[in-house]
Homo-oligomer: A and B are copies of this chain.
Amino acid sequence: MILESAVINIKPGQETAFEAAMRTARPFIAASHGFIDMKLQRCIETPNRYVLLVKWRTLEDHKVGFRQSDRYQEWRKLLHHFYDPAPVVEHYDSPIPL
Contacts and interface: CB of A to CB of B under 8 A. Distances in A.
Q: Which range holds the interface residue count of chain A?
A: 20 to 34
A98 interface: yes
A53 B5 CA distance: 11
Interface of A: 2-3, 5, 19, 22-23, 26, 38-46, 49-51, 53, 59, 90-96, 98
Copies assembled: 2
A38 B97 CA distance: 10
A76 to B, nearest CB: 17
A19 B92 contact: no
A45 B93 contact: no
A19 B96 contact: yes
